[in-house]
Chain A
Amino acid sequence: MLDSLVFVLEALRIHGKTLVASPERLQEADEDWSIVRRVQEGDVAAFDRLTVKYRNRVYGVVYNLTSNREDAADLTQDAFIKAFQSIQRFQGQSSFFTWIYRIAINSTLSHLRKNRVRSFFSLEKIDSDEPVSRELIAALTDKTGADRETFARELQEKLNEAMQKLSIKHRTVVTLFEIDGLSHQEIAEVMNCSVGTVRSRLHYAKQLLQAELQPYLS
């Protein structure tokens, strides 16, 4: 009983607004906080550990928001540079993961607002050998391997087109929840809104996506 209370208090202390956090996330936040303290004390090379740790996830979110690999790379780098420049102001009120996500998404949203009319896709290659992709493609078609790759490419383009038809906020919620696997609470912290707002946006975005991707659904 006492241990659970200490755990809750520790979660409140470390994560500030984060009221629900798994032990893995808490441990991860503690490790990140110790690295951040080293960077704040002058160990610039320690920041590379944070970069390597979160660059994949940050890049994935930015890429799914922009559907452009060059823009995603630039925006991800800019997010890490901004975090590095502002590392002295980071007080541990939230986890470093939430903080870098928020920086990246704000930069991406600002970029998308400035380039609304741009609809140029430069997509990453899908790993067709990955089990999930293979099962999905197999479920959608019974054709040969060569045709499967073509079909996978077509499906990828359709998915990105459908995502780009969403508004920026709805696209962000779908990306963070369905693709990146964040919880509603974490999305609310990152987007600085309520959990109810996150749920509402997610529901509306799914309705739109289902309408767009109806030929691929059962």
Chain B
Amino acid sequence: MNSNRKARVTLENLLRFKRNEQPPAEFWQQFDRELRAKQLAAIVARRPWWTPLSRYAGLVSRFSLPLGAAAALAVALAGFHEYRVYAPAPQGVKGEEGVEASLPDATKVAESDSPATAVQEDHSKVAMASVGRGVAAVAVYNDTAKRAAATPVRMDARSLALDAGSEAVESPSSRSIAANLAAAQAAQPEVIRNLLGLSRSLDARMIPAVRARAEPLEHMSPPASERRSRLLGGVVPALATYSGDAPAPVSDRNVKDLSDDRLYQTISRYAEGGDYLSIKVKF
């Protein structure tokens, strides 16, 4: 009888036995209180800012492949555009003609009303020229006098542009410097002109001073020359004018021309006293 009962016990019966593991009624009361407190806390609690974005996470994940492909294509196009902007021009275009062709037309630009408007209107042109061809230094004015006054600066800018154009490789920094210089001299030409002119005059004044300061060193004779001049002063008249204040230079050529035989022949008498020294020389 007992064995017949045990024969009916299956695994499903044992697992169904676990269904009877139920908490008491008091447990649910506490459970509801805690759940209510957590629910209120969830309502009051400030949710992170990205919580609303999570609604679109499913949409993004659903279209992840086309969205990813579109993003990759956009990045590739942007990179290609940047590459074209900063790529150097071909070698054949570089040079004077290429630079002249890249410069804006001065007569056309001169139709502007004022320097300020010219700056505003042509700044984009200058920038585009600098970006596209590597040449940017152009000052634009409708006033002839101002244009003439600004000519040195303009030439400087052009020379800078030519220097930049003559080199095979142009850096973006050189183009940006040229563009800034052009914009500055267009906005405040007097300041730039004075600044560059002052620097030139300053250079002109500084060069002679540097040379004058270097001359005494160049004209200083070595001590051996002074000794030779002193000893040979009686033999060679040109050397007799030696003075301590202004030492006469004694060239090596004069010393070499005077042979030893002649030197002893010319010195006929040599006498010395208590406070004198006399040398007689024959000519």
Contacts and interface: CB of A to CB of B under 8 A. Distances in A.
Contacts of B7: 218
A142 B27 CA distance: 33
Contacts of A59: 23, 31
Contacts of B10: 217-218
Interface of A is mostly: helix
Given A136-B13, A209-B11, A80 B35 contact: yes
Contacts of B19: 60, 132, 179
A124 interface: yes
A85 B43 CA distance: 8
Interface size on B, as a range, is 20 to 34
Contact of A217 (B2, B9, B24, B34): B9
A210 B5 contact: no
Interface string B1-45: 010011111111111111111111001100110110011001100
A196 to B, nearest CB: 21
A127 B22 contact: yes
Contacts of A133: 17, 20
A40 B34 CA distance: 22
B11 A138 contact: no
Contact of B6 (A73, A127, A140, A156): A140
B219 interface: no
Q: Which 8 A-B pairs have the closest CB atoms?
A: A178-B15, A139-B5, A124-B21, A218-B7, A127-B20, A130-B20, A133-B20, A77-B35
Given A126-B17, A216-B14, 13 more contacts: A44-B43, A56-B22, A60-B21, A73-B27, A84-B42, A127-B22, A140-B9, A156-B18, A159-B14, A159-B17, A159-B18, A213-B14, A218-B10
5 contacts: A89-B55, A124-B21, A133-B17, A139-B8, A178-B12
